[in-house]
Structure 1
């Protein structure tokens, strides 16, 4: 019985818990909305795209090698494809074919690699003076670089050079390269197994097997800036090794004029330093997004400040075995440079904590600083950089926190690109970000930044690549609204301009897209990049306030907001190009409504009044619905608790207890006590001995004793 009792009790508690959860969800649904939501969601096939497939039977591992205003060069399997940025038309005459030699392919197969691995995947292309280009490929796990020269609209091979340290062995290795000041900087691996990473510029490189410099890095991007070249990557944090294993995002730098150190350090960097990138939700215990996935190029803007600020956007995620979270953080180059001017970290012994080094223990000349000739540096400074390349201060997020956070088990951010400083009708400028995910989506985001904070608005979420293929790379086609979406085996050209989908002024304004503005004259949502005169257009990017639809661009006439295309046409016909009413073609009701709006009086039958009545009705219905949900929840809980209320184990126990109490209150003098015990039943073994001399008091003591034993 106790088990049944416990089961019923648990079931009742469980039912009440479910009921309370349902009531809570109803309240949340009625009274709470997320801060950041997606305004437009387009599934697969909703966005028209132009697809390019280089090899339909084998993997290509595409990558954008080079892009200008008319051309995009794609690196793939044994080919460099030349495409038009406007319609992805392939220019087959300018295609470069470069396959691995048979001996290289055979050796690759003997080392245990597959036939698809033992191909030449083009990873690097650098334009050079005198109509030359430098192309590097994996070459069947034996990296090779080749110089080409243009002759009669064809590229002719000039010479081959060793590509180890410049080009990766595996097309899926996370590597990066950048060409600056006539030299190629690369970050990749230096061996067949991929165990020895390095940052390389012939002949300088990072230390081999020095975990304090590079500890299992995944390189993301490389960017030249000023007298430095910066490398962004993620790696196992050596300063956290005594507490476990964790991945940190890093930014490292080397000097462009670094010529190596003296003597045995001639082929080593003397200026290599690195620090952590901090992308976290602030608080007493910050929540970190520690794994950087991609970055944009450096862009310049005011962002609510007086002077221009140079920033870089990056996508960062949580670990793969943690809560699925992604974030976009911005970092200013000023903060990055300041972090490298701070203190250095130091570990006294192998098991010691990493602590900042006091300034009095640093060498006289600051380590890692760019000098005229690094080959004459003192050996103690070179050794210090080799063992103390990690900085104490992390680079903070530019706006103090991520500008966008997405927590989802469906996807994570993988790639990002930016259309910087898109100018609006008012002269304000905003950055438009395009973010790729690991399931084929591309998010269009606008960063509305002020001097105190940044606010990201997700304009649209679009599935571009089929079969949940991850987005590997994103590129902007300037001036056209087109985006190049790169997957492993296909590349698509997509237009993410949604102005034509907005049918009303309200929808166009509330979209908050810097590209879109409402045209009062033609009653359409237009792309402002395609217009010549902006007199009849209106938009509101900061607030998306639909009230702007009431005020034409001239500002001297207020009109109501209409909800359908037919009324939009009427509105367009009753307003002249300069914003003034014609008066001749207006109907009587339209005239009354406009005059009423100007005088803040709303007569019966106006569209404004209908809109206000509808809005008030919706608020009233919403309040009644929430109230009914609460009442229904409490009533249902009451009946469920009554239905499953457990019965007592002894249903007659209250009556027995009451009967005993009544017996005790009855006077004993009026009761007769029968001491005769029947002889038929066998005598019981107890403490009552019949032969014992019992002293029976007149107050009924024996009766009490007998009742107790009975």
Structure 2
């Protein structure tokens, strides 16, 4: 490993970088004559007498700068300054469901009427290996249209793609408003691998309905709708193993109210699957049709009750996720969620969940925010007090006396509890407290960008400090790369990834490959998490405040930090 020293000035005859605690950062590379040299550093005239620094720069020394929520660099599609890899092929559309193989060499893509296997083994490579055709018959399409559906929506849009083991995937599609699922052998990935079965409850009927799915120990946990009309939501477990029965929510009112599912996450240390969605609130009566964001949980060891809640969840509980800045109107509609595991050596409770939120209120309809939640805080709320659902009037929630509590809703192992306890958790599943974000407010608020998808990673800069980098997909078709600094967020760059706004899209971050995959109806895009070579000089390299990059005077270029640190 090369020895690394960090300095705040570029060893250059015509540029200087400064970042004082009071003035705002200089937004671009500037000439030496227009700046006053920092008193803590040697003047530029001494530069020829100074020893060569192995690394000059970085982010940590610019952390005290005031940040502006404006992208510092913008790259349009086809821009030579930011190389991205595109994949599209005639006849392949709606490439929006993504799954990366365990060895990171194959990207499986759920598309319209097909499942694709793409070779992504090398950087900048995205080639079609094989394609499984999975289309409804003409008769099935005709039946779909006779039910009043648009023919364009009567294809099979693959919306679930999960790995069950080292040899098989599990795929589900809308299949002309009659969902179907199939096991697919990845070793013999071909049309003959499709063995369709009923997918009701595992996949939406409508391709425009959002859903979520995740596997845990080979079992499938899904949040979707169970019927053609789309008005019967469900959180369910399928493919149950070890002789257990499949489970779903009890049919009682109040469990779910017109939800839109946006994500799910299996936390092995908790033995729980968490679901994230919006729904119409019933606990607030000051406004009609008030939408709230929720986190719900179920335990993977749940087996359902013996008599009460038989074949239904005994561990379901839900809480409000509140993303709000001070006394501003809450941003109450969650758009997407990303689970960031804790840093090595830290407890699982430090797991962070980054969510993108927007608002139902017209006066802030163009605003987005990112809020960060901590797993430990979510657990604390679920361990607290609960409302009681009025069984006669499902729109009323009551605050029971503490003495009435005879069971702990959401506690794993409830399936073995007595009937009176199961009846208690059957009507006490909404927490009284909301889950509030770390820092009591958003980490980012954008007044003019609607963000729809998010991914996050943690990386170490040259000064040894850890930084969180967010990748945010905008409704207008750009990917924003944002670093969270001590003084606030800084948008390092924006990269255009598709031409037109997309109603259905997705992103997938591969940390091991150092790329973000962006999926849309227009095709697939592979974007490297960094492109340090696009910074042409030391000034640009420093002011970008990109924790992946550093200036190497030996090479007179801005290079990947991993290259510097590992001497590659």
Q: Please classify the TM superposition score into its range, dividing by the shorter chain length.
A: 0.7 to 0.9
From the CA coordinates, give the structure whose radius of gyration is larger.
Answer: 1
After superposition, the C-alpha distances for 1:199-249 in whole angstroms (9 at most, x for unaligned) are: 0114211133x4421010000111111211100011111112453221111
Note if contact 2:95-2:524 (Cα within 8 Å) is conserved in structure 1. no
Matched, 1:258 2:302: yes
- Say which SS state the counterpart of residue 86 (structure 2) adopts: strand
Superposition CA RMSD, Å: 2.8
The Cα of 1:40 is off from its aligned counterpart by 1.7
Q: Which one of the candidate residues 375, 386, 389 is aligned to 2:429?
A: 389
**Of residues 233, 258, 269 in structure 2, which corresponds to 1:216?**
258
Pair 1:527 & 2:560 matched: yes
Contact 1:437 1:470 (C-alpha < 8 Å) held by counterparts: no
Cα drift, residue 302 of structure 1: 8.2
The one of 352, 369, 378 aligned to 1:311:
352
Which residue of 502, 512, 519 maps to 2:535? 502
Find the counterpart in structure 2 of residue 357 from structure 1. 400
1:278-326 deviation per Cα after TM superposition (whole angstroms, max 9, x unaligned): 11112xx3431111111112321389x9998211111111126341211
1:377 equivalent in alignment to 2:410: no
User: Which runs of at least 4 in structure 1 moved beyond 4 Å after TM superposition?
Assistant: 150-155, 305-308, 347-355, 532-535
Question: How has the CA–CA distance of structure 1 residues 153 and 106 changed in structure 2, closer, same or farther, with 3 Å as cutoff?
Answer: closer
SS at match of 2:425: helix
Alignment correspondent of 1:288 = 330
CA distance in 2, matches of 1:429, 1:236: 38
Using the alignment, how far apart are the partners of 1:468 and 1:102 within structure 2?
Answer: 30
Superposed displacement of residue 150, structure 1: 5.1
Residue aligned with 1:506, SS: helix
1:416 corresponds to which of 437, 454, 462: 454
Q: Taking structure 2 as the reference length, what is the TM-score of the superposition? A: 0.79
Structure with the bigger percentage of strand: 2
**Secondary structure of the residue that 2:430 maps to in structure 1?**
coil
Question: 2 CA distance for matches of 1:227 and 1:356?
Answer: 29
Instruction: Give the Cα separation in 2 of the matches to 1:351 and 1:480.
Output: 49
Counterpart in the other structure of 1:235: 279
Q: Does structure 1 residue 81 correspond to structure 2 residue 116?
A: yes
In the alignment, the residues of structure 2 paired with residue 66 and residue 252 of structure 1 have an alpha-carbon distance, to the nearest angstrom, of 26
Q: Distance in 2 between matches of 1:116 and 1:228?
A: 38
Q: Residues of 2 paired with 1:279 and 1:296: CA distance?
A: 15
User: Structure 1 207/463 Cα, relative in aligned 2: closer, same or farther at 3 Å?
Assistant: same
Post-superposition Cα deviations, 1:660-696, rounded to whole Å, max 9, x if no partner, equal: xxxxxxxxxxxxxxxxxxxxxxxxxxxxxxxxxxxxx
Task: Name 1:336's counterpart in structure 2.
Answer: 378
* Residues matched between the structures, number: 487
Distance across 2 between alignment mates of 1:273 and 1:474: 28
Query: Which of 201, 204, 208 is matched with 2:247 structurally?
Result: 204
Give the corresponding residue for 1:70.
105
Q: Offset of 1:516 from its aligned partner?
A: 0.8
Structure 1 residue 492: Cα displacement: 1.4
1:106-145 equivalences under 5 Å are 106-129=142-165, 131-145=167-181
Query: Is 1:36 matched up with 2:36?
Result: no
Contact 1:415 1:471 (8 Å CA) reproduced? no
User: 1:511 — aligned with what?
Assistant: 544
1:355 deviation in Å? 4.9
Measure, in 2, the Cα distance between the counterparts of 1:351 and 1:491. Answer: 45
Out of 463, 471, 475, the position equivalent to 1:434 is 471
Which blocks of at least 5 consecutive residues in structure 1 are unaligned?
1-32, 536-710
Q: Is the 8 A contact 2:134 2:194 kept in 1?
A: no
TM superposition shift of 1:253? 0.3
Give the corresponding residue for 2:86.
51
Deviations 1:162-214 (A, max 9, x none): 21001111222110011102210000000011011100114211133x44210
In the alignment, is residue 425 of structure 1 matched against residue 425 of structure 2?
no
Q: How does 1:595-634 map to 2 (within 5 A)?
A: none
Residue deviations 1:459-487, cap 9 Å, x none?
11222211234672112233554321112
| Structure-2 change in CA distance of 1:153 and 1:205 (3 Å) | closer
1:212 touches 1:390 (CA, 8 Å); kept in 2? no
Contact 2:159 2:173 in 1 (8 A): yes
> Superposition pairs for residues 618-697 of structure 1, below 5 Å?
none
The answer to whether the 8 Å contact 2:275/2:297 transfers is yes
Given candidates 315, 322, 327, the residue that maps to 1:271 is 315
Are residues 1:327 and 2:369 paired?
A: yes
Q: 1:65 to 1:115 in 2, by over 3 A?
A: farther
The change in CA–CA distance for 1:511 and 1:197 in structure 2 (over 3 A counts) is: same
Preserved contact between residue 177 and residue 206 of structure 2 (Cα < 8 Å): yes
| Structure-1-length-normalised TM-score | 0.64
- Cα contact 2:355–2:454 (8 A) shared by 1: yes
Question: Structure 1 pair 481/351, CA: closer, same or farther in 2 (3 Å)?
Answer: closer
1:378 and 1:198, CA in 2 relative to 1: closer, same or farther beyond 3 A? same
Q: What's the CA shift for 1:62? A: 2.2
Secondary structure of the 1:396 match is coil
CA contact (8 A) 1:61 1:171 kept: no
> Quick check: 2:170–2:182 contact (8 Å CA) kept in 1?
yes
1:253-291 deviation digits (Å, cap 9, x = unpaired): 011111112326212111110001111112xx3431111
SS at match of 1:399: helix
Q: Are the counterparts in 2 of residues 133 and 147 from structure 1 also a CA contact under 8 Å?
A: yes
Is 1:468 aligned to residue 501 of structure 2?
yes
- Asked whether the equivalents of residues 337 and 454 of structure 2 are also in contact (C-alpha less than 8 Å), the reply is yes
Q: Distance in 2 between matches of 1:44 and 1:496?
A: 16
Could you tell me how far apart the structure 2 residues matched to 1:67 and 1:395 are?
34
Indicate conservation of the 8 Å contact 1:315/1:327, yes or no.
Answer: yes
Q: Which runs of 5+ in 2 are unaligned?
A: 1-65, 239-245
The answer as to 2:438 corresponding to 1:401 is no
Higher-RCO chain (CA-CA 8 Å, sequence separation at least 6) = 2
